[in-house]
Chains A and B, each alone.
Chain A
Amino acid sequence: MAIIERPVGDALAFQDAPVTATSSYGYFRRPVETTGWRSWAFTVDHKKIGIMYGAVAMVFFIVGGIEASLIRLQLAQPDGTILSADKYNQMFTMHATTMVFLFVMPMAAAFANYFIPLQIGARDVAFPRLNALSLWLFVAGGLFLNTSWILGGGADGGWFMYAPNSDVPFSPSNGVDFWALGLQITGIASLVGAINLITTVLNMRAPGMSLMRMPVFTWMAMVTQFLLLFAMPVITVALFLLMFQRSYDATFFSVAEGADPLLWQHLFWIFGHPEVYIIVLPAFGIVSEVLPVFSKKPLFGYPFVVFSGAAIGFVGWGVWAHHMFASGLGPVSVAVFSVATMAIAVPTGVKIVNWTLTMWGGKLRFTTAMLFAMGLIVEFTIGGLSGVTHAVAPSDTQQTDTYYIVAHFHYVIFGGGVLGLFAGFYYWWPKIFGRALNENWGKWNFWMMIVGMNLAFGPMHIIGLQGQPRRMYVWTENRAGEGFFNLGFWNLVSTIGTFILAVGVLLFLINVWVSRKNPPAPLDPWDARTLEWLTASPPKDHNFDRIPTVHSIDEVFHRKYEDVGENGEHDYVQRATLEDLLAEEERLGEKHIHLPAPSYWPLVLAFALPIMAYGVIYTTWLILAGAAIAVAAMFGWALEPADAEPSDFDPPVDGDETSKELANV
């Protein structure tokens, strides 16, 4: 029977005296609660952190969705009056910022946090407290950014925040300051997370889990973390320059002084283009897990999928300037970037082919997760095709800044990124919560979202070709085209589509709500293939009773099935169920497992940063106060032993039996 030495609250119940840990390292007592909000706020368990990451990201998805709906309501009719020009600017800026930085990225981080350790057979991430810090920085940054709504209005410079347009003379409200500082904070969250997760993947794999045996989701998540590692510092620089410009009168973007108006664009897009892959690669990883399971076949061409993912990561760096074709770079640059951009379609195409061949001849099961995965293939391909028309610089200069672009990137990031995340929700829900989401609600959820997104974003192609500019708060009747190109008709369709999409998301939330009461899901609801299933659902605190030794890709599948085929033909017969495997793991499980103890400091440190950020905007002494708290938190952190001393906590988690057993250890 496995024993956990996480200092849990129950320990108190078993010992007459309060935990003696206080004495052994003087400073502050480490938190010990296992229930209630404290058990979440101070946790360093990657699973709880993953769940919180996801829950907060979901809240921001709703916020971003409300912002999108307001935009579309405004544009449903000519000369809309729901939003003023000013509020409209804030709305689309905050919509895009929220969706990109506060929903898609953190939701991918939620999956990465939760599943990377499970998929590589580790007990936790490499640095559990840093992991908690990364979560709370994201929460702190997101909240800080959104307080701008009540403190003078949101940012209004577009999510790309082109300077000098975002400098004080053109954007005088505090919104842009909130934006720059808020993203700085969430940026640190991403950086810290990237370092932690890459270290985890490279260093903490179970015996036998070579890189080429790793599940594809872990692979794609790692490539994503590398992109973050190298992309975040570039936007960090940009954000610092903008902050110094606005708050301390630096001159980086003062064109009157001779500043280069393209500096911001370069810095932004060197970050911004890899950002696109940061958004879609985790979704690609999820789909690469889901398709084989519901096709009952191994992933076709595993190495190709892995290497094309890595290739996307590399090539993604060389093409940023395709966002700047219309900015006067000069013909040579434009030609080079145009060709490089088309080159990136190749590894992406490889993936699509591999997914299709995975399904080819497979025993398909059309579960909700599978539907979302297939939806991704279709919708992402549509987005990819309109993308090719942007790579061609001449046609791009016609389309850019029209709704055609808006259509394109929503097919890519919604059709690619978001549908993939939803596939992940349905696929992994029973693992995370021990209860599956309802499949009926799920199918409605899926179809409403698919119909909604095509009605919302499809017409934007037409609206764009007719010339309706992006980021304009009204359009007028006299510019509406005739017949098929009638702006009024398609704008209305797009708005209706948005609300159908919103209902689809609402169905998901209802599904989550009703599934609380579902009976416990079977241990192996989908006949899974990868390591994260080799533990209870939801997983125990210590992840695995015994760290598994890995022999192949799809380890769990090969433990369950024996290949009795001859002459290279495969014929799998079941020799064990997951229940059998788990019983065996529990029997052979380890007696003595250390887990890192919870900590207050990540939370304290994270929330010191918004205090400093308010200081930059309002008064200097707040900067000092925040910095003092941050320094104190860092020292508390450094002086706190990384691990609780086992002798201080003898936590009998599994009952009296084990508590006695441990007492003798």
Chain B
Amino acid sequence: MSDVVKETVKDAIEIVKDHDKDVHEHDVHAGDHNGGHDGEHGAHHTSMGLSNTKLAMWLFLGSECLLFGGLISTYMLYRNRQGTGPGPDQLWDIPFTSASSFVLLMSSLTMVLAVSAANRKDDRNTKLWLTVTATLGGLFVAGQIYEFTTFYREGLGYTESLFGSSFYTLTGFHGVHVSIGIVMLLATMGMLATGKISGDKAETIEMVGLYWHFVDVVWIIIFTLVYLIPA
């Protein structure tokens, strides 16, 4: 394990050092033709020195923060209003959810490894780590489905109470985000397999990685606020 970690840190430093080069090599997105033939700026100059796709992903995630902000606020407002239905005390199984949270956090680690392998142009390991990441993500979603069915059997329907509606909506939205992430991972692997993204692989995988880490961070917040802090 520790070797892998060392490797990763070394890669991270390389990535930072190579950043400029990366931008030029990988930046071939659709509109990115500005100043393309201006000579001194290299093939794909951008004003911020950050590729368009990466900047766009950051902006998108910024906006996602407010989406989850709204959903989390709604949940916080309603978490004590369980009416006659069951509430958190009757339902939560903290050890189980901790385990599935751990699985999700580990997937962030494997995602980092995938990105670093991609930066090494090491296709075999990239595919390996992407597979592991997707599997861990799948496990998390499976755990969530299991949780939902258990809660449902214990009497918490979606329309049962304000608590029920807002709990399922918040965690459901998160689950959908993870699922979309898994689809993105699978698509990336597909494109790797067919050689579709040979040139700008690292960048594409970094992008999926950014999204994946974001979804994980959101889960940490949800896990803490929803499960750990008593109502």
B169 adjacent to A250 (CB under 8 Å): yes
Instruction: Determine which of B46, B59, B161, B187 lies in contact with A251 in the assembled complex, contact meaning CB atoms within 8 Å.
Output: B161
Instruction: Determine which of B34, B69, B74, B162 lies in contact with A123 in the assembled complex, contact meaning CB atoms within 8 Å.
Output: B34
Whether A241 is near chain B, meaning CB under 8 Å from some CB there, is yes
Name which residue of chain A comes closest to B84, CB basis: A257
Instruction: Determine which of A126, A230, A254, A257 lies in contact with B31 in the assembled complex, contact meaning CB atoms within 8 Å.
Output: A126
Whether B67 is near chain A, meaning CB under 8 Å from some CB there, is yes
Q: Number of residue pairs across A and B with beta carbons under 8 Å? A: 150
Query: Which range contains the number of B residues in contact with the other chain?
Result: 35 or more
Instruction: Determine which of A122, A233, A249 lies in contact with B67 in the assembled complex, contact meaning CB atoms within 8 Å.
Output: A233
Whether B166 is near chain A, meaning CB under 8 Å from some CB there, is yes
Among A168-190, those with CB < 8 Å from B are none
> Contacts A196-B56, A203-B50, A233-B64 hold; do A248 and B159 have CB atoms under 8 A apart?
yes
Whether A191 is near chain B, meaning CB under 8 Å from some CB there, is yes
A260 adjacent to B77 (CB under 8 Å): yes
For residue B70, which residues in chain A have a CB less than 8 angstroms away from its CB?
A: 233-234, 236-238, 267
A230 adjacent to B63 (CB under 8 Å): yes
Name which residue of chain A comes closest to B28, CB basis: A642
CB of A97, distance to nearest CB on chain B (Å): 21
Q: How far is the CA of A269 from the CA of B13 in the complex (A)?
A: 45
CB of A197, distance to nearest CB on chain B (Å): 10
Whether B60 is near chain A, meaning CB under 8 Å from some CB there, is yes
Size of the chain A interface, CB-CB below 8 angstroms: 60
B59 adjacent to A203 (CB under 8 Å): no
Among B17-48, those with CB < 8 Å from A are 28-38, 41, 46-48
Q: How far is the CA of A244 from the CA of B164 in the complex (A)?
A: 13
Whether A205 is near chain B, meaning CB under 8 Å from some CB there, is yes
A195 adjacent to B59 (CB under 8 Å): yes
B35 adjacent to A124 (CB under 8 Å): no
Q: How far is the CA of A203 from the CA of B33 in the complex (A)?
A: 11
A547 adjacent to B52 (CB under 8 Å): no
> Contacts A122-B34, A127-B31 hold; do A233 and B63 have CB atoms under 8 A apart?
yes
Whether A336 is near chain B, meaning CB under 8 Å from some CB there, is no
Name which residue of chain B comes closest to A131, CB basis: B31
Name which residue of chain A comes closest to B41, CB basis: A207
For residue A635, which residues in chain B have a CB less than 8 angstroms away from its CB?
A: 187
> Contacts A195-B63, A238-B70 hold; do A251 and B164 have CB atoms under 8 A apart?
yes
A250 adjacent to B159 (CB under 8 Å): yes
Q: How far is the CA of A248 from the CA of B50 in the complex (A)?
A: 43
> Contacts A206-B35, A207-B41 hold; do A191 and B52 have CB atoms under 8 A apart?
no
Whether A428 is near chain B, meaning CB under 8 Å from some CB there, is no
Q: How far is the CA of A639 from the CA of B159 in the complex (A)?
A: 41
Q: How far is the CA of A123 from the CA of B33 in the complex (A)?
A: 7
Q: How far is the CA of A237 from the CA of B63 in the complex (A)?
A: 12
Among B179-194, those with CB < 8 Å from A are 187, 191
Name which residue of chain B comes closest to A256, CB basis: B83
Q: How far is the CA of A303 from the CA of B150 in the complex (A)?
A: 59
Whether A594 is near chain B, meaning CB under 8 Å from some CB there, is yes
Whether B81 is near chain A, meaning CB under 8 Å from some CB there, is yes
> Contacts A128-B31, A203-B48, A260-B77 hold; do A236 and B60 have CB atoms under 8 A apart?
no
Q: How far is the CA of A241 from the CA of B47 in the complex (A)?
A: 40
For residue A202, which residues in chain B have a CB less than 8 angstroms away from its CB?
A: 47-48, 55
Whether A483 is near chain B, meaning CB under 8 Å from some CB there, is no
Q: How far is the CA of A237 from the CA of B130 in the complex (A)?
A: 31
Name which residue of chain B comes closest to A211, CB basis: B47
CB of A263, distance to nearest CB on chain B (Å): 6
For residue A203, which residues in chain B have a CB less than 8 angstroms away from its CB?
A: 46-48, 50, 52, 55
7 closest cross-chain pairs (CB), A and B: A237-B70, A642-B30, A233-B67, A250-B165, A233-B66, A203-B46, A204-B34
